[in-house]
Structure 1
Amino acid sequence: MMVDGYNSSKKTDDICEAVCGQQGPRGALSMSRVQCILKGIDLRTLILFLLVIPTCCFGIYLHGQQITYFLRPLWEKPPKPFIEITHYYNENVTMETLCKLHGWGIRDSPRRVFDAILFNNEADMLLIRWNELYPYVTQFVLLESNSTFTGISKPFFFGIHRNKFKFVELRLTYGRIRGD
């Protein structure tokens, strides 16, 4: 605002004057700014801010997983199709020939297979498992703790029943963890 040719940087209440239109003595507004702003908000806007928007936010919070699952096709692509490999097999053909038909070669060394388990107290089931897997497994790995997952103290059961597993001793890696 220009007063006598000079710029005045004094704040004015022109914002509220346009809404309320009431001026008090000496040109000052008779209402406070908050009253003026509240007077300018209509009932529909008030209902929107106090009822509709919080209700929508709460609904999205409760049902967000279903909403995102419903909208999922918008961003997810279908998986790539499988590449089919023709399988050649005949009982009278050597493994080297079968590998060459697939475009592979014979490995220089056989694969190493490990059987690793967490052990609690199921010695009989472990005996059955290791008897079945013995011809195929390179190394057996067993880890045992002196407490259960819930923190209850227990003895090392594998140490008590170790004589049942003499046939695996050369391939066994046994570890104890204190869970106190």
Structure 2
Amino acid sequence: MAAMARKCRRMEGFLNNYAFGVRYEDEPGFNLRATDLRPPPPNANLDDLTRGATFCLCPSGTGWGMRAFHAVALGCIPVIIQDDGSGSYPSVLQAFEGPLLDWASLAVRLTFADIPRLPSLLRALAADHEALAAKRRALVAALPRLLWREALATEERRALDAMPDAFDSVMEVLAGRRNATR
């Protein structure tokens, strides 16, 4: 973890603020890797690695939560670190956070100051089987709201027929905003 702290303190221009400076180092029992590398590393299937993981690091980046979406879609509990601790940046909201989804129930949300304790925090949560099971249930319940039904194969599309998808979620949020301004 000391190597991570040194890396986060290093001044590298744009990279100093990219993802609020959150980077990863190997820690026994942890394999923190980006899930969106292009091209993927040789001899590694990132989707399989993500599906086999309990937690997936999802620091802020240039998108609005693609790492978090990828983690949720593959059944991995997102570890969201989107606060640099300075108060200079507002917290980044995830998709439909607030009006439709309670990200605190399905993810682990940490601040920059929590990074040195990341392994112990995640080990404690992993040891709490009831809390871990609750996060997994919330993850499964939230997934349909993050998927675009029309982008899915026919079989998966049918499985979502009775559930609101991302399009329905956008429409609900917009209707809520319209009603709030009246």
TM over 0.5: no
Please tell me the TM-score bracket, short chain as reference: under 0.3
Q: More strand by proportion, 1 or 2?
A: 1
Bigger RCO of structures 1 and 2 (CA < 8 A, at least 6 apart): 2
Rg: which structure is higher? 1
Q: What is the TM-score when the length of structure 2 is the normalising length?
A: 0.25
